[in-house]
Structure 1
Amino acid sequence: MSLCFTKIYSIFIIFAVVATHSIAEYIQDDSTDIPINAYTNDYGGGDGSSSGVSPTEPSISEVAVEKALSWLRSQRAQDWGWFNNTPDVLLALQLAPYTELNQIPETTPETQLSTKQMEIEILIMLWRHHEYPLSPGKLSKYALALNTLCHDPRQFHGHDLIGTLLHHESQRDADFALSVLSACSASAHVRKRPIRRLLDIANAVNDHNIDTVAIVILALKCIVQDHRHRNLQHFVRRPSLGLARQQLPDGGFGNLHATALAMQALQNEEYTINNHWNRTAAVRWLLSHQTENGNFGDIAATTDAILALSWRGLSAIRTLECGHVSDLENHVDIDEGHFKSHVPHTNSNDTEGRNVSVTYTLWVGTNVTENYTLTLTIPRNETFYNVMQIASLLDNHFVFEASEWPNGHYVHTLAGYKEEPMGYHYWLLYRVPTVPDPSNPPANQLVAPGGVDDLLVEDGEHYLFWYKKL
């Protein structure tokens, strides 16, 4: 079997080299200059506001990005790659020159040659994985680059790169988040367990570095978009606020890599944290690190800066209209996992007028042998069924099952306990004036007046689902 794979990869590499030679001859024989895509966007936040990238911002960033792109092209090796940075450079070259989020980049002969070189790099890495363990971070970058080239990483010469990433979950939070971002960008199925881990990191911003928090925010934004799960949008705001507040007086977020990632994580206007960060200052900080020849220190730093200054960064990959078929279909799978921390209370400075705070409690047994409570801050005008969905993402005790009827959902299982009509054990939903106290159980008149789909939660309300014998 090993000999068979060796022959297959050898044949592919020989084919790739022949194809590379043929395209190279075409370029050398063609007297016509290959056009470089016009870069038409402006950057910088000239009004000093903290809003996301805008086409009306000063053109100094446009000039800086074009100089950086030209420098990157000049660093291309004879094999049409960029040594260990080939996927990073292809990401920058494919995303930066466009202002429309879903515009598919043009494929030039040079791009084809560099793509072929990257494919050879990936195949060699897969071929030698027994000798040199796969790097989740590196494989994620390859998958993201393939996406920008409209190549499905789930179908890479018989290999599912996304499946490999999700199956071998990295213990390093930053690499894990990048793996999830790669999967989501490829329209792959992101299960509930990885989402829980992302939320766990997002709720402990102070325990993680800027790089990790920024990548987690990018991954969560992609998941919200992919699942059309608007209830998760609220969980993006808190880490975004924490990240924005880490901007230094000089405009940066520490080093260049961290600053570039933070700018990408905060640039989406939907999640912009007004009055807590200044994009203009961040742009100026980045531009101050550009040299006369256009680079920002080395190839890796230059690609980081380009994505940060551009209209499209890592968050835009999912929007490319490449025709990939999503295997998510707006579904979040329910699987096993443990979420370490509950959602903390949000102080008054962080809470927008459109958010409300409620408590949700579960009691098991007529004598209350089990008692679980969550405090949730959610958008206004959500139903209690939406509250239940959010709670199930945060704590396994709140995972539920429900039957769907024409008039709404009927919840029959919570915390692993299913209703037993023969024994008269049922789940009853109460709306109570204070956090439920087992020593003072609610009276029957406090049973909720409607089903879980009919109840619109209000700020300060308390809900109890009690499994008891009638």
Structure 2
Amino acid sequence: MVYLPLIVGFSLVAFGYSQDLELQHTLTTSDNYKDTTETVKVTAFLDLLQTSTNPSEKTTIEESSVVERALAWLVTQREADWGWRNDTPKVLTALQLWPREEAHLMAEVLEMQLSLKQMEVEIVVLLWRHHEIPITPPKLAQYCLALSGACQDPRQFHGHDLIATLLHHEPVRDIEFAYASLAACTARSHVRKKQIRRLLDIANTAKDHNIDTVAMTILALRCIVKDHRHRNLQHSLRRPCISLARQQQQDGGFGNLYNTALTLQALQDMNEINNHWNRSAAKSYIESRQDPDGAFTDPNLTAEIVFALSDRGLSHIRNLDCGKYDNDMDNHVEIDGLSKSLYPHGNDSDPRNVTVTYTLWVGANVTENATVTLTAPRNTSFYHVMQAAMDADPRFTFEASEWPNGHYVHTLAGYKEEPMGYHYWLLYRLPEVPDPLAPPANQLVAPVGVDDLLIEEGDHYLFWYKKL
């Protein structure tokens, strides 16, 4: 019964709004979506979606762009409860992302506030009844994306972490898994390396998967690489993007409207693969299939096409300026399945330089010892520090293998790891310069790799070659 007060509260808020609001157009309460094949005049509410060449005259839907006509049609399909039935989160996301003078279009419209409250009621009801009717990952992902698009944190939904709920049981279907990963990343939640590996596995075998699965996987990975800890994965996107682009058919589409819309989002701004497909032909394929009333079959598909044609799709949500930044997004490490802050320092955008020491030890008895002091911008990865040290002192020359999750250093100072003899390089992060007479304990081994390890003022790093 913990959800009952929330439901009652939301209902009262919605009722109060609806009593005070002078509606600009009539809504239907029939069991089917309204027939909107007739020409619809844009009312005061719909005028926000239109751009008229003559401000003194209302613009009809026929004179509007493809996207504006689609958005106008979506608004006419709103139900009496201010929602869109099963499509409420996706339609709301489409409406919120549409730009108007570089601002959120609907942020000051009471109708939009009512629709957002209706969506919250829907989420609460789903949580309340989840024992009777399980929440499917795609549906919960849609709600999480819509909340993020409204500048609300789905990890703090009235005391509930919707992202944690979404990721609690990993979806079996690859497309649902990619969708859930995209929602988590968009909410600036930590994406585990296990999840990233699965996404990379899908991307690397793109030819074995459906178009929609590959496109959704690319969207998820493109979101993940925006995190500076995973920028090294950018190169992993090229091959699956080319494979997806080559699926384009003679008519310009990718099999159907949904696949084409999703592909347009996935390949947006991927200019390096432009010679592998025709973006204009894909857009024309979609635009030529718009219904006379502005729809693309149903609200769900229409919203998806709005994402694709407006160039402000699902990948744009993470870039929204909501007037805040989540510092906890950076520098996470997985410990017993929990995500916690590893280095609780201040604003990651601080450009100041910091000074660190970097030491090499060889042998259990430390027969070779070399230390260098370096200065670099705060939050530089330790891998870049290693490169600077190699340039400054040849004793710090190293070799590394490049893997999907980063670089693996296997050779330093001419000493290569010998797995057969159990000789390995171990990286430590220490509070002081290492002393061979008081070697560090194993619990001080860095919990992340050289790419994920970000330097801070006063850090001391040790690479120690020894037998385990």
1:79 is matched with 81
Q: 1:108-157: per-residue Cα shift (whole Å, max 9, x none)? A: 11111111111111111111111122211110000000011111100001
Q: 1:188-220: per-residue Cα shift (whole Å, max 9, x none)? A: 111111111111111000111111111111111
Matched to 1:201, the amino acid is I
Secondary structure of 1:237's counterpart equals helix
1:275 is matched with 275
2:284 is matched with 284
Deviation at 1:268, TM superposition (A): 2.1
Residue in structure 1 matching 2:15, options 10, 17, 21: 21
Cα gap change, 1:26 to 1:414, in 2 (>3 Å): farther
Give the Cα–Cα distance (whole angstroms) in 2 for the partners of residues 168 and 9 of structure 1. 22
- Greater CA deviation, 213-222 or 318-327? 318-327
1:199 is matched with 200
Matched to 2:183, the amino acid is S
Deviation at 1:274, TM superposition (A): 1.8
Give the Cα–Cα distance (whole angstroms) in 1 for the partners of residues 286 and 23 of structure 2. 40
Gaps of at least 5 residues in structure 1 are 1-5, 41-59, 338-381, 403-408, 420-424, 429-451, 454-466
Deviation at 1:279, TM superposition (A): 1.1
Matched to 1:209, the amino acid is N
Give the Cα–Cα distance (whole angstroms) in 2 for the partners of residues 176 and 414 of structure 1. 36
- Greater CA deviation, 321-330 or 15-24? 321-330
- Greater CA deviation, 194-203 or 104-113? 104-113
1:37 equivalenced with 2:56 (yes/no): no
**Conserved? CA contact 1:392–1:400, under 8 Å:** no
1:358 is matched with none
Deviation at 1:416, TM superposition (A): 8.8
Matched to 2:297, the amino acid is G
Deviation at 1:98, TM superposition (A): 4.8
Secondary structure of 2:242's counterpart equals helix
Q: 1:283-337: per-residue Cα shift (whole Å, max 9, x none)? A: 1110111011000111111111111100211110000112454365443646899
Structure with the greater relative contact order (CA < 8 A, sep ≥ 6): 1 or 2? 1
Deviation at 1:99, TM superposition (A): 7.7
Cα gap change, 1:267 to 1:30, in 2 (>3 Å): closer
Cα gap change, 1:239 to 1:411, in 2 (>3 Å): farther
Cα gap change, 1:132 to 1:426, in 2 (>3 Å): closer
**Conserved? CA contact 2:400–2:410, under 8 Å:** no
1:244 is matched with 245
Q: Give aligned pairs, total.
A: 351
Gaps of at least 5 residues in structure 2 are 26-42, 52-61, 338-385, 391-396, 427-449, 452-464
Give the Cα–Cα distance (whole angstroms) in 1 for the partners of residues 104 and 23 of structure 2. 30
Deviation at 1:11, TM superposition (A): 1.8
Deviation at 1:33, TM superposition (A): 4.0
Give the Cα–Cα distance (whole angstroms) in 1 for the partners of residues 415 and 19 of structure 2. 69
RMSD, aligned CA: 3.9
Q: 1:423-447: per-residue Cα shift (whole Å, max 9, x none)? A: xx4559xxxxxxxxxxxxxxxxxxx
Q: How do residues 25-424 of structure 1 correspond to structure 2 at under 5 angstroms?
A: 25-28=19-22, 33-34=44-45, 36-38=47-49, 63-98=65-100, 100=102, 106-227=107-228, 229-269=230-270, 272-326=272-326, 328-331=328-331, 333=333, 388=400, 390-391=402-403, 393=405
TM-score (norm 1): 0.66
Deviation at 1:386, TM superposition (A): 11
- Greater CA deviation, 162-171 or 73-82? 162-171
Secondary structure of 2:21's counterpart equals helix
**Conserved? CA contact 2:49–2:71, under 8 Å:** no
